[in-house]
């Protein structure tokens, strides 16, 4: 994509290029629908195209050809208006372009597997926590924290977006996905939990994003409710959301924020050694030492 032209016809060719004719057939129909939707959602569409810097917008369209359609469909929650969706997206990229150091932004949004935060080995499998932008999660946010390995790629994925509400910086979690249940995956999860000093990977994803939120000076972490999730919208088939998000957020101490979100604690809550049974004290000590090391690494890697 050489330039981002101001005409809807050119935008349609960017999103649905001739090379995608087999995937989107008939091509003219997809292009026509895009133009009609862009006209219908004119204010939201123009807000995105005019508020994100041209170079960043070009990068995003390369990574996610249908990026310009974000305001046409549910985003993080299922009942926001097109202009609300556009404002949310723009606020995220204002944070990315104005607050994140350029080299961090570049690695997250241009590399296939994003920015590696830290890595570790479990048995013969090498894992890494990464920050990445993947088009497949675009309805749940605009950045993902992934637990990656070469076999499964994204073993766990937590997708989120940043926004500013009345001067308060929020990190909003729009999705948390793990591997399909199978004997093989269950063994991997068991091995991960043991290596990570008793921390379940699903819980650890939230722990790591909390460390990141503190480094990025976030005021509030919000996590979407099951009934409000983007894929709970009427336009999507029933049963698309299988995870019970509410139960998980509650188990992590989440509290009701509003009809769409739970608020998660920003604090690194640790158990008093006196309250831990003697056989488990050593495990908790190693866990907290590991988390301290991870936090120090993140401070060096992604500080604003």
- Encode the chain in three state secondary structure: CCCCCCCHHHHHHHHCCHHHCCCCCCHHHHHHHHHHHHHHCHHHHHHHHHHCCHHHHHHHHHHCCCHHHHHHCCECECCCCHHHHHHHHHHHHHHHHHCCCHHHHHHHHHCCCCEEEEEEEECCEEEEEEEECCHHHCCCCCEEEEEEECCCEEEEEEEEEEEEECCEEEEEEEEEECCCCCHHHHHHHHHHHHHCCCCCHHHHHHHHHHHHHHHCCCCEEEEECHHHEHHHCCCCCCCCCCCCHHHHHHHCCCEECCCCEEEECCCCCCCCHHHCCHHHHHHHHHHHHHHHHHHHHHHHHHCC
Question: Tell me: the pLDDT tens digits for 151-176?
Answer: 999 999 999 999 999 999 999 999 99
Q: What is the pLDDT of residues 191-249, one digit of tens each?
A: 999 999 999 999 999 999 999 999 999 999 999 999 999 988 776 755 566 678 999 99
Res 238: pLDDT: 56
Percent of the chain that is helix, strand, coil (3-state, to 5): 50, 20, 30
Question: Residue 4: what pLDDT?
Answer: 40
Q: Are 68 and 49 in contact (CB under 8 A)?
A: yes
Nearest to 61 by CA among 135, 123, 113, 8: 135
Cis status of the peptide bond prior to 261, with omega within 30 of 0: no
The position carrying tokens 């650890």 is 204
Whole-number percent of the chain with pLDDT over 70:
95
Helices (H), 99-229: 102-110, 183-195, 201-215
Q: What are the distances in angstroms from CA 170 to CA 129, 166, 210?
A: 22, 10, 12
What secondary structure does DSSP assign to 42-94, as a single string? HHHHHHHHHHS-HHHHHHHHHH-TTGGGGGGS-BSBSS--HHHHHHHHHHHHH
Please tell me the CATH code under which domain 102-302 is placed: 3.40.630
CB count within 10 Å of CB 22 equals 7
pLDDT at 119 (0 to 100) = 97
**Ranges of the chain with pLDDT below 50:** 1-5
What's the pLDDT score for residue 203?
A: 96
Residue ranges per structural domain of the chain = 102-302
- Looking up tokens 């133009």 gives 35
Please give the pLDDT value at position 3.
41
End-to-end alpha carbon distance in the chain: 30
pLDDT for residue 2: 38
């Amino acid at each position: 994509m050489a330039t981002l032209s101001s005409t809807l016809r050119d935008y349609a060719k960017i999103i649905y290029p001739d090379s995608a004719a087999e995937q989107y057939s008939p091509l003219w129909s997809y292009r026509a629908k895009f133009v009609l939707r862009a006209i219908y959602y004119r204010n939201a569409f123009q807000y995105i195209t005019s508020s994100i810097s041209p170079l960043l917008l070009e990068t995003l369209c390369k990574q996610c050809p249908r990026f310009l359609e974000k305001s046409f469909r549910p985003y993080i929650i299922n009942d926001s208006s097109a202009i609300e969706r556009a404002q949310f997206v723009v606020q995220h990229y204002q944070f990315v372009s104005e607050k994140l150091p350029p080299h961090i932004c570049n690695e997250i949004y241009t590399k296939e597997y994003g920015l590696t935060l830290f890595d570790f080995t479990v048995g013969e499998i090498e894992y890494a926590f990464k920050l990445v932008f993947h088009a497949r999660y675009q309805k749940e946010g605009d950045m993902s924290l992934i637990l990656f390995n070469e076999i499964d790629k994204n073993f766990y994925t937590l997708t989120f977006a940043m926004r500013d509400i009345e001067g308060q910086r929020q990190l909003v979690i729009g999705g948390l996905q793990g591997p399909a249940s199978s004997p093989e995956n269950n063994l991997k999860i068991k091995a991960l939990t043991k290596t990570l000093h008793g921390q379940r990977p699903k819980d650890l994803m939230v722990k790591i994003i909390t460390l990141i939120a503190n480094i990025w000076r976030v005021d509030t972490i919000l996590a979407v409710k099951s009934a409000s999730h983007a894929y709970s919208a009427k336009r999507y088939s029933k049963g698309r959301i299988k995870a019970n998000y509410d139960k998980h957020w509650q188990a992590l101490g989440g509290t009701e924020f509003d009809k769409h979100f739970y608020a998660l604690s920003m604090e690194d809550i640790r158990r008093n050694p006196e309250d831990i049974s003697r056989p488990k004290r050593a495990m908790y000590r190693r866990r907290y030492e590991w988390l301290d090391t991870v936090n120090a690494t993140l401070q060096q890697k992604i500080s604003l």
